[in-house]
């Protein structure tokens, strides 16, 4: 093997072992030997992303494209770099180039569909059309022409299979937990198919709670489909849609008589092979959302999710404005959601309230280049950098304590907060959100209505600005909300774990009974 070949092999191995700095050093030496190799620049850029040096990563991805405009890896990584700073139109532009270069890339297609959900300019019809077009490439055999050995007894115990790459420290792993704990073992036998190469404590905890747990990251779709069929799964539930490392394509093999998508993705999969999507009447109103789904929508009651209470280890703090004498807004969202339109709206709020400040928290803010980018975005809209504070990744307890500094949370659009919003509410912080027009944009309003706080839902941007100002002037009211909000969460249906699990179980039984009835015709 040549010297540069040995360097690249060492760099690759080091990167896979998460020794990013060693990989970086090897790629630097390789570039000194051959600076015209686009792939080396792409890989070096990937190291810089991991090292929280976004600007250098961006530069090397662009150098790679100058050397090789058809380099799919450079376009893929640029799309992810743009996603980190909320520039989703640019992220989409580069992922479309990947699709043109590699039309069979399942990851590129799923990334494209995922990214569309972040774009306010994409209508519900367009979002549906893109998903439908993608799904049409997969052959489909109608159910009445397929044989399933599952015995059609409507009253027998059911075998439920959940597939997810997020049975780990992830929001999906957190929200699905009540369904994996509070089910009736006389009615349901639970199988989890986990695509998690690096299991963590959450993975291990889930594994101990269910009847059967399989690690599937080394299985291809055909092998996984055979496993599911061999396990006699009656209802197969995909928990990822088009999010990272999804195995939704196993649904195209139709290994189970009933196939469902749920929780991890906010819209249709685009696949005829998926029979149902589980949701609720608030985020997907009857008569509005059904048209934009290839799956039949089933609305859980009262909500499509359950927020398991976090306990009282970290208490709710006094309202910080009582001591600071000014309002501190917060935004703890993934930076993918911080588009220019969001920054513009939040800046309008801050300009209306000159004494107010804004505290942002996300893992991406560990990168000084990304912080500088958002500083320039806020400055463009008249908000000086000293009014916005940035915090990076924190241990979970520290992250919860950071809420002690926040009076009001500002929500994003068109994809609102969910996990972070639940955390904020638990910590006594109300969320100012916009009324939405599809599932991803209605989660904030779903939460605030569930807690009896519909006045925190703004009809439009002007209303959002006015409400932010009005609430900022009502310190006593904010204090009262803060004192009582955790109890509101506990008393609301969003935290009733057994009710949620029973609703899910009843839904499974209903659609299973319907399938059994169809088999007897």
| pLDDT tens track for 388-409 | 999 999 999 999 999 999 999 9
Q: End-to-end distance of the chain based on CA atoms, in angstroms?
A: 67
Calculate the average pLDDT of the chain. 97
Confidence of residue 201 (pLDDT cuts 50, 70, 90): very high
Q: Residue 204: which residues within 8 A CB-CB, separation 6 or more?
A: none
pLDDT of residue 3 exceeding 80, the answer is yes
Determine the average pLDDT of the residues in 82-108: 97
| 485: phi then psi, degrees, rounded to nearest 5 | -65, -40
> What is the per-residue DSSP string for 207-271?
HHHSSEEEE-TT--HHHHHHHHHHTT-SEEEES-TTSTT--GGGGGG--SSEEEEESS-SS----
Determine the average pLDDT of the residues in 196-213: 96
User: What pLDDT, on a 0 to 100 scale, did the predictor assign at position 145?
Assistant: 82
pLDDT of residue 257 exceeding 80, the answer is yes
Confidence of residue 352 (pLDDT cuts 50, 70, 90): very high
| β 328-331/431-434 pair status | unpaired
Confidence of residue 498 (pLDDT cuts 50, 70, 90): very high
Q: Residue 505: which residues within 8 A CB-CB, separation 6 or more?
A: 183, 184, 187, 188
Ranges 4-8, 191-195, 317-321, 421-425: which has the least confidence: 4-8
pLDDT of residue 1 exceeding 70, the answer is no
pLDDT of residue 159 exceeding 80, the answer is yes
Q: Which of 422, 495, 497 is nearest to 180 (CA)?
A: 497
Task: Report the SS3 class of residue 306.
Answer: coil
User: What pLDDT, on a 0 to 100 scale, did the predictor assign at position 143?
Assistant: 80
Task: Report the SS3 class of residue 521.
Answer: coil
User: What pLDDT, on a 0 to 100 scale, did the predictor assign at position 502?
Assistant: 97
Q: Are 429 and 330 in contact (CB under 8 A)?
A: yes
Q: Are 251 and 271 in contact (CB under 8 A)?
A: yes
User: What pLDDT, on a 0 to 100 scale, did the predictor assign at position 375?
Assistant: 98
Beta bridge mates, 192: 162, 213
User: What pLDDT, on a 0 to 100 scale, did the predictor assign at position 244?
Assistant: 96
Determine the average pLDDT of the residues in 218-239: 98
Q: What is the pTM of this model?
A: 0.96
Confidence of residue 146 (pLDDT cuts 50, 70, 90): confident
Q: Angle, to 10 degrees, between the axis of helix 54-67 and the axis of helix 368-380?
A: 90
Q: Residue 78 burial by CB count (10 A; 0-12/13-18/19+): exposed, middle or buried? A: buried
Task: Report the SS3 class of residue 133.
Answer: helix
Determine the average pLDDT of the residues in 350-372: 98
What does each C-alpha distance from 43 to 16, 77, 313 come to in angstroms?
Answer: 12, 9, 43
User: What pLDDT, on a 0 to 100 scale, did the predictor assign at position 10?
Assistant: 93
Determine the average pLDDT of the residues in 25-34: 94
Q: Residue 178: which residues within 8 A CB-CB, separation 6 or more?
A: 306, 308, 497, 498, 500, 501
Task: Report the SS3 class of residue 295.
Answer: coil
Q: Which of 277, 242, 285, 286 is nearest to 446 (CA)?
A: 285
Q: Residue 34 burial by CB count (10 A; 0-12/13-18/19+): exposed, middle or buried? A: exposed
Confidence of residue 213 (pLDDT cuts 50, 70, 90): very high
Determine the average pLDDT of the residues in 167-186: 96
Cis peptide before 199 (omega within 30 of 0): no
Beta bridge mates, 297: 277
Determine the average pLDDT of the residues in 73-80: 98
Q: Residue 32 burial by CB count (10 A; 0-12/13-18/19+): exposed, middle or buried? A: exposed
């Amino acid at each position: 093997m040549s010297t540069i070949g040995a360097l690249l092999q060492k760099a690759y191995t080091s990167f896979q072992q998460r020794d990013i700095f060693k990989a970086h050093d090897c790629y630097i030496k390789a570039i000194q030997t051959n600076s015209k190799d686009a792939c080396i620049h792409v890989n070096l850029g990937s190291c810089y992303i991991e090292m929280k040096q976004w600007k250098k990563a961006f530069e090397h991805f662009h150098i790679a494209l100058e050397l090789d405009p058809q380099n799919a890896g450079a376009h893929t990584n640029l799309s992810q770099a743009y996603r980190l700073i909320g520039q989703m139109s640019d992220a989409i532009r580069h992922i479309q180039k990947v699709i043109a270069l590699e039309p069979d890339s399942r990851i590129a297609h799923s990334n494209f569909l995922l990214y569309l959900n972040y774009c306010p300019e994409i209508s519900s019809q367009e979002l549906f059309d893109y998903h439908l077009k993608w799904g049409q490439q997969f052959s489909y055999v109608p159910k009445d022409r397929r044989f399933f050995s599952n015995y059609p007894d409507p009253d027998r115990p059911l075998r439920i299979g959940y597939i997810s790459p997020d049975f780990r420290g992830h929001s999906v792993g957190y929200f699905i937990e009540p369904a994996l704990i509070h089910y009736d073992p006389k009615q349901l036998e639970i199988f989890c198919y986990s695509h998690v190469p690096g299991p963590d404590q959450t993975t291990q905890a889930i594994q101990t709670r269910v009847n059967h747990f399989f690690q599937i990251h080394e299985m291809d779709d055909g092998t996984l489909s055979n496993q599911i069929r061999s396990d006699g799964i009656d209802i197969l539930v995909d928990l990822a849609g088009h999010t990272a490392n999804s195995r939704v394509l196993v649904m195209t093999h139709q290994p189970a008589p009933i196939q469902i998508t749920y929780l991890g993705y906010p819209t249709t999969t685009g696949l005829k092979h998926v029979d149902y999507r589980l949701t609720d009447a608030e985020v997907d109103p009857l008569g509005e959302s059904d048209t934009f789904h290839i799956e039949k929508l089933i609305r859980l009651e009262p909500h499509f999710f359950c927020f398991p209470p976090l306990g009282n280890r970290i208490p709710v703090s006094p309202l910080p404005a009582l001591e600071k004498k000014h309002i501190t807004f917060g935004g703890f969202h993934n930076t993918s959601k911080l588009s220019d339109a969001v920054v513009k709206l939040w800046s309008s709020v801050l300009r209306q309230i000159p004494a107010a400040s804004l505290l942002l928290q996300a893992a991406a803010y560990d990168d000084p280049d990304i912080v500088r980018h958002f500083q320039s975005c806020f400055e463009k809209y008249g908000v000086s950098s000293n009014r916005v504070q940035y915090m990076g990744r924190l241990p979970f307890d520290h992250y919860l304590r950071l809420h002690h500094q926040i009076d009001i949370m500002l929500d994003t659009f068109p994809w609102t907060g969910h996990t972070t919003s639940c955390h904020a509410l638990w910590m006594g912080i109300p969320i100012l959100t916009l009324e939405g027009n599809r599932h991803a944009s209605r989660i904030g309003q779903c939460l605030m209505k569930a807690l009896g706080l519909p006045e925190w839902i703004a009809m439009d941007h002007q209303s959002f600005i006015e409400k932010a100002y009005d609430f900022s002037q009502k310190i006593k009211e904010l204090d009262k909300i803060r004192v009582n909000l955790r109890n509101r969460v506990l008393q609301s249906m969003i935290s009733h774990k057994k009710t949620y699990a029973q609703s899910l179980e009843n839904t499974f039984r209903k659609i299973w009974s319907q399938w059994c009835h169809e088999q007897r015709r």
